[in-house]
């Protein structure tokens, strides 16, 4: 599949997904920055004004400001399509990744969320088991096409291949 087909598949599979009661990116940033437990009032306050009902409208600055590892299942379902499309636009820009630490961390976090290390794979794949078949198929198609759409470095290419073999391949036609 080409880039336009992959983007269309992601958009279609996740159309209408809202954050609901899930953890938002602003909330993850607050949780990640705090050394102490964060009060619910503080979490609610940072969420005010955040786009939570249309992931296609989440600004890129929001995507690079959150702590992706802090997302809960609902947060992951809401943000992952925006992050996948963001990754297609930013992965090959090595200068941007080097100049902006947040961009580099978002690249790492996005890949880590769909092609996790062995340490986090079981937990994340359990979350993805709760996605719809269409969402699972769209992510699998995305990962299958990713090496042809961007120039993955060696370690990222290896992680993607392992994730396809161990989990995502089952969601491809004939998988």
Confidence band (pLDDT; 50, 70, 90) for 22? Answer: very high
45-103 pLDDT, tens per residue?
A: 888 889 999 999 999 888 988 788 889 999 999 999 999 999 999 998 877 777 788 88
Instruction: Read off the tokens for 129.
Output: 């088991």
Residues in contact with 16: Cβ distance below 8 Å, sequence separation at least 6, in sequence order: none
**31-47 mean pLDDT:** 80
pLDDT of residue 89: 92
Contact 106, 68 (CB under 8 A): yes
106-135 pLDDT, tens per residue?
A: 889 999 999 999 999 999 999 999 999 999
DSSP 116: -
Q: How far apart are CA 32 and CA 15, in angstroms?
A: 29
**141-146 mean pLDDT:** 97
The candidate with the shortest Cα–Cα distance to 46, out of 79, 16, 69, 24, is: 24
Q: What is the pTM of this model?
A: 0.92
What residue ranges do the domains of the chain occupy? 3-171
Instruction: Read off the tokens for 93.
Output: 């820009």
Q: How far apart are CA 62 and CA 27, in angstroms?
A: 11
Residue 33, pLDDT > 80, answer: no
Q: How far apart are CA 74 and CA 99, in angstroms?
A: 31
Contact 150, 88 (CB under 8 A): yes
Tell me which of 29 and 55 has the higher pLDDT: 55
pLDDT of residue 3: 96
């Amino acid at each position: 599949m080409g880039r336009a087909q992959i983007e269309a598949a992601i958009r279609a599979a996740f159309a209408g997904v809202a954050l609901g009661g899930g953890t938002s990116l602003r909330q993850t940033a607050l949780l990640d920055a705090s050394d102490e437990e964060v009060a619910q009032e503080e979490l609610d306050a940072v969420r005010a004004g955040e786009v939570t009902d249309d992931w296609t409208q989440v600004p890129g600055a929001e995507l690079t400001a959150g702590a992706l590892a802090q997302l809960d299942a609902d947060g992951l379902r809401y943000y992952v399509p925006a992050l996948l499309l963001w990754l297609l636009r930013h992965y090959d820009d090595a200068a941007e990744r080097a100049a902006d630490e947040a961009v580099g961390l978002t690249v790492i976090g996005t890949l880590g969320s769909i092609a996790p290390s062995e340490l986090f794979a079981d937990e994340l794949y359990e979350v993805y088991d709760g996605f719809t078949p269409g969402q699972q198929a769209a992510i699998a198609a995305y990962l299958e096409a990713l090496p042809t759409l961007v120039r993955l470095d060696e370690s990222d290419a290896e992680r993607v291949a392992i994730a396809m073999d161990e989990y995502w391949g089952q969601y491809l036609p004939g998988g």
